[in-house]
Chains A and B, each alone.
Chain A
Amino acid sequence: MNDQNNGRVDEAASSAETVISIRNLSHTYKRGNLTVFEDVDLVVGKGENLVLLGPSGGGKSTLLRCINRLVKATSGTINVFGTEMVAAPFRKVRKARRDIGMVFQSFNLIDRISVLDNVLIGRLGYLSTARSVFGLYQKEDIAEAMHALDRVSLTDFSQQLAMNLSGGQRQRVAIARALAQRPKLLLADEPVSNLDPLLEREILGLLRDICREDGITSVTSLHDVALAEEFGSRLVGVRDKTATTIEPGEFNHDKLQEIYGA
């Protein structure tokens, strides 16, 4: 199983510059002694729009969070743009995180501050701690944030409080926050599962277009098969503690059952 997987992975790696290279990754949550995945190997090439597909609780979110080390994997290695994320000291992790934007299921905006201030959070990694304590953003930071808001068509809302926005707008602000980092890699954890069906396509389309225009590599977790097929350049099934690439055309009823165990 693993050999087979490695074969595919290496093929993908050779065809393009590698952005993420995951080797033998295992993670067990200490609380509850829950093993989420074991010996996962995965390589993501530059410009790919990878979609992680699988049931809730199958480890997609944890795998994404291991990539920017919001979760520290128990063992194995994850190389992102040359930084070994699992073992790196926190300072290096922080530096690496600047290149990795992230969008979340529940948007994670701060309600009581303005849309612009929320987007400026994406600039923190480039700001000295002393300046940021007093909120002394540079002119370039504000320009960058406004540019990011422009990309998601929310320039007019920059001074609104985040709490006054609708669900779709909130996720667009979150996307702008990630874009303000000038990321080379974008992680999206179930970005549309809190949105209604019309907005799902709008948001995923926006993410896809932005990634295409800027040459951003993306890894998105989704649980909806139709959306995954429509928006992913490659699909990876995450379940039963493993991650396996799903070849195009391989998608049929049997495969679906295998992934979802339905």
Chain B
Amino acid sequence: MVNTPSPSNIAPARWKPGQRGLIGAIIIAVYIIAFWQTETDPVMLVLGLPDMVKFFGSMFPPHFFGWDQPYFYNKESEFQYVLLAALETFQMAVLGTVIAVVFGFVLAMLAARNITPNVFIYHGVRTLCDGFRGISEVVWALLFVAMVGLGPFTGVLALAVHNTGALGKFFSEAIEAMDEGILESVEASGATRTQVFFHGIIPELGTLFMSYILYYFEHNLRQAMVLGIVGAGGIGIELLLAMKYFNFNKALSVIIIMLVMVVITDRLSGMIRKRLVGGELVVVT
């Protein structure tokens, strides 16, 4: 008897049929308006295919040979300079990541609920992290150009600031989720906050932190390539100039170099991650 459904013990349906129809109509309307406003047109995509094929055709062969022939727009864009710019991109990613890791840890110690000194600092630092992270690297680069001028230093700063926010947030959330008992046991020995970090948190969460850091390094390498386009150093500017001057063979060679860098980095960090966690699955949110 108790388990017999009756009108009184069944939860009412959340939406009435009429309401459901209305919600459906609203969702469809949102899609249609979005299509119209963004001028999204599948027909254009199909009609543009021949042009696309022609464009790709004009990119071949990639300009990997005849390095001694300078380009008409800039002598400095001989091929060896492209490789140098690629190296610069890599270094920007390395520096940006390392700086972000250091400051990310500092912020995380203040923004993790279970170890923060007080609730005002907790909320303040958390908001700071969201602010750093909420503005993308490219926008930070535009801001820093005004401060330190064009060049790779701008790119490093942009990467460092955005990623400090991102890593600060992820590190602090990892700390919040860690076994409270470990923190207690280290604190109970009379350890300082710094000691709790280096002897409790790092040994316990090191592999998780490492997988975050590797993930963000890969991300930073890709971002560093884009940053060049706004003048913040690295290989991006080479791609932009090549496209601007219709030097498509060179553009393709730059894209291939980018792709090779990304693939190698992803493979390497994948290998490191596997070694660290020994096949254990570490979830990066």
With A132-B198, A133-B198 in contact, is A124–B184 under 8 Å at CB?
no
CB distance from B116 to the nearest CB of A (A): 13
Say yes or no: B186 contacts A104, CB within 8 Å.
no
Say yes or no: A94 contacts B191, CB within 8 Å.
yes
| Residue from the list B181, B199, B206, B207 in contact with A121, Cβ < 8 A | B199
Please tell me if B68 contacts chain A, counting CB pairs below 8 Å: no
In the complex, what residues of A have CB within 8 A of residue B52's CB?
none
Please tell me if A95 contacts chain B, counting CB pairs below 8 Å: yes
Please tell me if A146 contacts chain B, counting CB pairs below 8 Å: no
With A110-B204, A117-B203, A127-B195 in contact, is A97–B190 under 8 Å at CB?
yes
Please tell me if A56 contacts chain B, counting CB pairs below 8 Å: no
In the complex, what residues of B have CB within 8 A of residue A117's CB?
203
Most buried by A among B185, B198, B199: B185
Say yes or no: A94 contacts B192, CB within 8 Å.
yes
| Residue from the list A98, A100, A121, A133 in contact with B185, Cβ < 8 A | A121
In the complex, what residues of A have CB within 8 A of residue B185's CB?
102, 104, 108-109, 121, 174, 177
Once the chains are docked, how many angstroms separate the CA of A163 from the CA of B186?
Answer: 17
Please tell me if B228 contacts chain A, counting CB pairs below 8 Å: no
Per-position 1/0 for A159-188, Cβ under 8 A of B: 000000000000000100100010000000
Once the chains are docked, how many angstroms separate the CA of A109 from the CA of B185?
Answer: 8
**Chain B residue at minimal CB-CB distance from A126:** B190
In the complex, what residues of A have CB within 8 A of residue B198's CB?
132-133, 135
Count of A-B contacts judged by CB separation below 8 Å: 80
Say yes or no: B186 contacts A98, CB within 8 Å.
no
Say yes or no: B194 contacts A133, CB within 8 Å.
yes
CB distance from A176 to the nearest CB of B (A): 12
Per-position 1/0 for A61-74, Cβ under 8 A of B: 00001001010000
Which secondary structure dominates where chain B touches chain A?
helix
Once the chains are docked, how many angstroms separate the CA of A95 from the CA of B189?
Answer: 9
Please tell me the size bucket of the interface on B. Answer: 20 to 34
Please tell me if B143 contacts chain A, counting CB pairs below 8 Å: no
| Residue from the list B187, B189, B192, B194 in contact with A177, Cβ < 8 A | B189
**Chain B residue at minimal CB-CB distance from A134:** B198
CB distance from A100 to the nearest CB of B (A): 7
In the complex, what residues of A have CB within 8 A of residue B190's CB?
94-98, 124-126, 181
Please tell me if A138 contacts chain B, counting CB pairs below 8 Å: no
Say yes or no: B182 contacts A108, CB within 8 Å.
yes
Please tell me if A129 contacts chain B, counting CB pairs below 8 Å: yes
With A177-B189, A181-B190 in contact, is A108–B199 under 8 Å at CB?
no
Nearest 9 pairs of A and B residues by beta carbon: A125-B190, A108-B181, A108-B185, A97-B190, A98-B190, A124-B191, A102-B188, A113-B203, A110-B203
A-B contact pairs, 17 of them (CB 8 A): A94-B191, A97-B187, A98-B190, A101-B188, A102-B188, A104-B184, A110-B200, A110-B203, A112-B206, A121-B185, A121-B186, A124-B189, A124-B190, A126-B190, A132-B195, A132-B198, A133-B194
- Known pairs A129-B195, A132-B199 / 4 extra A-B pairs, C-beta < 8 Å: A70-B187, A97-B190, A108-B179, A125-B190
